[in-house]
Amino acid sequence: MYNRIWRITMMCWLVMGLGAAMGQDVPPDRDLKIKQLDENLYSHPKTDPYDGWRLGIQAYSFNQYTLFEAIDKTASLGLDWIEMYPGQRLGGGLDGALTHTMSAANRKAVKEKLKDAGLTLVNYGVVTAANNEKAWRQVFDFAKDMGIETIVSEPKPEAFDLLDRLCQEYNINLAVHNHPKPSFYWNPDTVLEVCQGRSERIGACADTGHWVRSGLDPVECLKRLEGRILCSHFKEIEDGHDVIWGQGQGRAPKLLEELHRQGFQGTFSIEYEYHWKTSVPEIRGCVEFFNQFSAKLNPTGWRDLIEPDMSNCVVKPGSWKYEDGVLTTQERSQDIFLKDKFGDFILDLEFKLTEGANSGIIIRSGVMGNWVDWLHEGIEVQIYDTYGKKPVRNSCGAIYDCVAPSKEMSRPMGEWNRLTIICKANKIYEIFNREQVIDMDLDEWTEAGKNPDETRNKFNKAYKDMPRVGYIGFQHYGNKVWYRNLKIKPLK
């Protein structure tokens, strides 16, 4: 299998740049290129809409919940990144709170939870430590073990000789955060003073909302810190509290435009400090604003598959509902299709099933309608309750009646599953809950009604003759099914 994929990626995709399409840089070295492309076929993509910006959650937004609950809420928003803070209860059956002094066992459990949720931990803060090397090394050792890029803190000015040395030793950044006036770093000029003469690993965590609370213009503050901004706690403040980005006084567009002008590359952490127990819909509004606005500035090509009002879909009333980012079947059994056609693309989504539920994702269909219409004109990725069963050609993740998944990767009932479908010319790949389960060459299906291994299938057309450009749809088989975080990236 490895050699086969190596040859295909080398011959067909090296020039096409699939590595960049999956949201990762392709190294210039030939061997590294091949390795990178091969890895892309085995991992879910990052789906950030701006090339060089990462949008995540500061877990303090969910400080009324445990860390494990905060991770689940972050994943539900379709985000790939998270910043943790010290002091949050762990949850998940673990005692104690998140801290840089917690046990190795708890660290391992947190890392496994992050991996399972598809999240990457990038920042940690706001953290404090005693002004001595031993105390700060504990913080840096923790950051290194957890894979953290940036420590967010408000250290004493006299600590920066030590901190700069540790940053370079550990290859970890330290970003100076600004709490509101009268905190020591409320004014960006004070942040600049402690950065002066330091390495590029010492910089600012620009908290845009706290600048507003301090009576400062956040755009001017960003300009003052140009070249030193490492990350941001991003906020939109109105009447002293957070609102959905772009609303209120509408500072968010100007802030993003300024960071784009500066060439900022880094992480935005949503720190939403309002409606603590019910903030997810408002945070989702922030995510939608950011994705739509930032994609216009420096697009990666990723976008939401479905418009909030389903205006880009062909859907019968009473058959599907799209609400709070979740597509759900309703009483009327009727399939839904996107109006646009897609050829080569990466489709990334999550789904959840009820017991015995049966559905399907239709790709490259030549027609719309229900299954009797598209059965012989489109390819179906089976979505089915087959948890714990031996993989066959109608298992969850199968290319229906043609290819069984290489592994049974379904999660237990009630849990969300992640699925990535990659279509490139004659090739179809699937990554299902972090495992590649499908590697299909359509050109091997040369006869109608027959698979390459001589078994029969139901189709009156050879799969090599199926459309290479067509509609994407979701099958309603009369069961309750949920889809969320539906994102697509057309490939050129």
Domains of the chain: 2-40 (no CATH), 53-301 (3.20.20.150), 313-490 (2.60.120.560)
Q: What is the pTM of this model?
A: 0.90
User: pLDDT tens digits for 410-445?
Assistant: 999 999 999 999 999 999 999 999 999 999 999 999
For residue 42, the model assigns a pLDDT of: 77
Contact 9, 30 (CB under 8 A): no
For residue 176, the model assigns a pLDDT of: 98
User: pLDDT tens digits for 147-193?
Assistant: 999 999 999 999 999 999 999 999 999 999 999 999 999 999 999 99
In the predicted model, what is the mean pLDDT of residues 321-329? 96
How far is it, in rounded angstroms, from Cα 302 to Cα 300?
A: 6
